[in-house]
Structure 1
Amino acid sequence: MGAADAAAFIAPGSTVGMSGFTGSGYPKAVPMALAARIEAEHAAGRPFQVRVWTGASTGPELDGALARAHGIEFRLPYNSDPLVREQINTGQMEYFDLHLSQVAPMAAQGFLGPLDTAVIEVSAIASDGSLVPSSSVGNNKTWIDQARQVIVEVNRWQSAALEGMHDIYYGTALPPHRVPIPILKPGDRVGEPRFRCDPDKVVAVVETESPDRNLPFRAPDAAARAIAGHLLEFLCHEVKMGRLPASLLPIQSGVGNIPNAVLGSLLDGPFERMTAYTEVIQDGMLDLLIAGRLQVASATGFSLSPGAAHRFNAEAAQFRDRVILRPQEISNHPEVIRRLGCLAMNGMIEADIYGCVNSTHVMGSRIQNGIGGSGDFARNAYISIFMTPSTAKDGHISTLVPQASHVDHIPQDVQVLVTEQGLADLRGLSPKQRARLIIARCVHPDYRPALSDYFERACAHAYGQQSPSLLTEALSWHQRFIETGSMRS
């Protein structure tokens, strides 16, 4: 049926589980039709909002369209849409940010409440009624299992060669019946290539032909190249010291321009026969696969620029044996991450001198995005690395501060910090040793004297000396930015 008829199955106040992960594999037609219906209801003076669950971020036809219609009451677990962000930060929308590995288990345990409708994009429906996933898996298995009714979008834009890349694991169970996940290497396949779906739950099938929408990655600037260089030097040193094998350990990379630049630098590095166990396959990882430097990449979805997505669709068959797409509760599962010994490389908004990392909030209270999978990987990685340029907003913000205005990752989960200024290996250091190293290696020269002065005065006058802090000054840099537009004194 058409998208408008399918959207009519979604009732006001209901909870809808949508497919999608970082702008790939999300439904396009039904959410837009639902947004149009919501706008018409609002124009008639009737309230209409829904609760939206996804895998992670989606695209403008989903989050953007529903936000423009003021149709989202509640959103989880991750967002990057600017209009949704605005409505969250102005209190118009409730938002629950949680680790991506925890979403499916919490839904299955009933902690999130009932799921009324699943709207899932697939690339095909098999003759036995099973569903061939599209360019992301995300939480789709759980949405299909838990929802009272299912709406399927079959997107002909997605490559037919995707079939066979997916590994849908049906071995999860709730406590006390859980058993180990039998993944010993990133390339292990332990599940099925398609989603199981009870045909009686399917109330609509909508055919579409619409591309995934991800923004193009910027060409690496000087800061990104410097960060990549510092990290490459560090990895080479770890291999030399015998702490990493010559092929490294499985790579995990967050999404964004800096992580993508770091992946690009591995093309010129000395490492061969690498593997990846990560959330998303972005342009830099696709380049490593094409060059043969990366043997296999396991993820839950793609995050490809338009050009890279076009290339992948044209050549998808060559990747079928080297790309595995899994449910995000498996791609991000702490048990598997710890077993494989992943190298976690993620971006951040800011860090403080003791190694607390803020990944989500600007000036303490404005959400920028969710925590995503960075917590899943950072706490369980073999080495946990966070990266950012040392300044933002044309130098008016220092990303290294006396105290983080919001903490997503505690110092025990942060082992390495990298900016274009340098790299600080924090493993085995006390808080004061960490502070001196971060100030010396990572802070921009414009802010280094002020941060050194703060730390020395804190050591002299703080209430205690384990992690010295001047409580009346610790967040003064953020307050100064809010009042004047600059952290500079």
Structure 2
Amino acid sequence: MSVDRIANARLRDRVVSAEAAAALIQPGETVAMSGFTGSGYPKAVPVALAQRIEAVHAQGLPFQISLMTGASTAPELDGALAKADGIAMRMPFQSDPDARNRINEGKLDYIDIHLSHVAQHVWFGFYGDIDTAVIEVSAIREDGSLVPSTSVGNNKTWLDLAKKVIVEVNEWQPAGVDGMHDIYYGTALPPHRKPIPLVHANDRIGETALRCDPDKIVAVVRTNGPDRNSPFSPIDTTSEQIAQYLIEFLKHEVAKGRLPANLLPLQSGVGNIPNAVLAGLAKSGFRDLSAFTEVIQDGMLDLLRDGVLSYASCTGFALSPQANETFKEHIDFYRERIIMRTQEISNHPELVRRLGCIGMNGMIEADLYGNVNSTHVMGSRIMNGIGGSGDFARNGFLSAFLSPSTAKNGSISAIVPMVSHVDHTEHDVSVIVTEQGLADLRGLTPRKRARVVIDNCAHPDFRDQLNDYFDRASRESYGKHTPHLLPEALSWHQRWLDTGTMKA
């Protein structure tokens, strides 16, 4: 006989349908929901809320909410509410096609901010009050504390600050995640903050469950639905080449004595290229590695299983369906090696700097001098958002940005004279890697960086074009420190918009 996931009798009496819970959310509210990269988000209430919004709209009445989460979520949340035209404002990160289209059409306001800033900015009152929190958990303990599921994100802040709380108890989530979480309640508002007592990436400094005033919990909904993360594509040659260049660089840093033999705590963005890096690490000979990152993806489970990675700290999962089953099957093994923290700890700039994290993130484009655009296509169209890449780029021991050298069947160069949008300035970027090679920018002046980036990272189809631009800029620009021809600096992007190619 299965054990009831709702062990608190008082909260068991508040079990209602998803429709009844959604009816408690009113037009114009600011609603904070759980979820981080397709894991741990509420599965039922957002869908019911979207249906309610559509019914209200059919009557000719307005109904939208402002929506906050940990990061991106899934079709049942971002997708359903975006399709229903139910979101007036979204923050801090998204990856849903319907939401993205509405943002780029100017129909949905979007605030893209560093993930480490979200909780503290909400505590500071920058975004007003949180009216309702909708949080997925794996269980409610007898004392009323809430066991998170496969992400923690900003849930602690949402529960602390929301006026009313709706809890989804998802029995699809493995009960064995209980004990995997580390919820730190020692943060405070300035100027009375104390140092966070985390010295090693696997230190436990908090509690294994979330606190919540039971009087604020207005509804509990039982669910049984899977997290939704897309399967990773098979690792392609380009991703393998990028991964190999980065791994050889890390070996070189060890040989030079700048890194220990087991490196420093790794942070990895989500996607096929970071997953290829993780796969490469499994074959590289490195051992006893650690991770202090935002997301555990398939490759990190493999490294933990094979003993390459000793432990990993994160705030959520981004596992393919197959990896999810592996995780659930071996939950006892992984619970001893994975720690899930609040987002304000997993992305905390001071911790990233003190631990000396190695940041590995994707990018859309980089320019000759090392500025990186990781969010906007052609300067104006948002892709997903900055996420936590800036938290690790500015504060980590090393910050590496990875991308194929071209996009759109070779019509776009990822290396351009000037990026069309700046997320990470040249001051925060250590290394740029494409399948063409690796550019180590540390200690180089701007003009020297330009030559290294062109020679090592640009695709041959664009290399002569870049050299021509840089040579003429070095002769003709207003200043020689960071040479630019301002009328031409963004002309590559305009040429693509006008003709469909950046090639001259």
Partner residue, 1:277: 292
Partner residue, 1:122: 137
Provide runs of 4+ in structure 1 moved above 4 Å: none
What residue identity is the alignment partner of 2:501? Answer: S
**Pair 1:35-2:50 in alignment:** yes
TM-score (structure 1 length as normaliser): 1.00
SS in 1 for 2:488: coil
1:74, CA displacement in angstroms? 0.2
Alignment equivalent of 1:311, drawn from 310, 326, 329: 326
Alpha-carbon separation, structure 2, partners of 1:398 and 1:49: 39
1:312, CA displacement in angstroms? 0.6
Alpha-carbon separation, structure 2, partners of 1:484 and 1:12: 44
Partner residue, 1:357: 372
Alpha-carbon separation, structure 2, partners of 1:15 and 1:355: 38
1:321, CA displacement in angstroms? 1.4
Partner residue, 1:346: 361
What residue identity is the alignment partner of 1:439? Answer: I
Alpha-carbon separation, structure 1, partners of 2:473 and 2:311: 48
Alpha-carbon separation, structure 1, partners of 2:443 and 2:449: 9
What residue identity is the alignment partner of 1:480? Answer: R
1:315, CA displacement in angstroms? 1.3
What residue identity is the alignment partner of 1:350? Answer: E
Alignment equivalent of 1:379, drawn from 394, 398, 409: 394
Alpha-carbon separation, structure 2, partners of 1:256 and 1:180: 33
Alpha-carbon separation, structure 2, partners of 1:191 and 1:424: 40
What residue identity is the alignment partner of 2:397? Answer: Y
Identity %: 65
1:316, CA displacement in angstroms? 1.1
**Pair 1:260-2:275 in alignment:** yes
For residues 81-138 of structure 1, what are the alpha-carbon distances to aligned partners after superposition, in whole Å with 9 as ceiling and x for unaligned? 0100000000000000000001000111111110000000000000000000000000
Alpha-carbon separation, structure 2, partners of 1:380 and 1:408: 14
Alpha-carbon separation, structure 2, partners of 1:46 and 1:438: 54
Alpha-carbon separation, structure 1, partners of 2:269 and 2:481: 32
Alpha-carbon separation, structure 1, partners of 2:119 and 2:243: 34
SS in 1 for 2:107: coil
Partner residue, 1:182: 197
Partner residue, 1:466: 481
Partner residue, 1:139: 154
Alpha-carbon separation, structure 2, partners of 1:413 and 1:308: 33
**Pair 1:210-2:225 in alignment:** yes
1:257, CA displacement in angstroms? 0.8
Alpha-carbon separation, structure 2, partners of 1:60 and 1:286: 25
Partner residue, 2:406: 391
SS in 2 for 1:429: coil
Alpha-carbon separation, structure 1, partners of 2:36 and 2:129: 22
Alignment equivalent of 2:260, drawn from 218, 237, 245: 245
**Pair 1:85-2:100 in alignment:** yes
TM-score (structure 2 length as normaliser): 0.97
Alpha-carbon separation, structure 1, partners of 2:269 and 2:315: 13
Alignment equivalent of 1:173, drawn from 178, 184, 188: 188
Alignment equivalent of 2:72, drawn from 31, 39, 57: 57
Partner residue, 2:456: 441
What residue identity is the alignment partner of 1:328? Answer: Q
What residue identity is the alignment partner of 2:119? Answer: A
Alpha-carbon separation, structure 1, partners of 2:311 and 2:198: 14
Alpha-carbon separation, structure 2, partners of 1:108 and 1:308: 35
Q: How many aligned positions are there?
A: 489
Alpha-carbon separation, structure 2, partners of 1:133 and 1:399: 39
Alpha-carbon separation, structure 1, partners of 2:179 and 2:398: 32
1:5-16 counterparts in 2 under 5 A? 5-16=20-31
Partner residue, 2:9: none
Alpha-carbon separation, structure 1, partners of 2:120 and 2:426: 27
What residue identity is the alignment partner of 2:131? Answer: D
Alpha-carbon separation, structure 2, partners of 1:216 and 1:396: 27
SS in 2 for 1:473: helix
SS in 2 for 1:394: coil
For residues 399-449 of structure 1, what are the alpha-carbon distances to aligned partners after superposition, in whole Å with 9 as ceiling and x for unaligned? 000000000000010010000000000000000000000000000000000
For residues 153-180 of structure 1, what are the alpha-carbon distances to aligned partners after superposition, in whole Å with 9 as ceiling and x for unaligned? 0000000110000000000001011111
1:486, CA displacement in angstroms? 0.8
Partner residue, 2:208: 193
| RMSD (CA atoms) | 0.5
Alpha-carbon separation, structure 1, partners of 2:503 and 2:98: 30
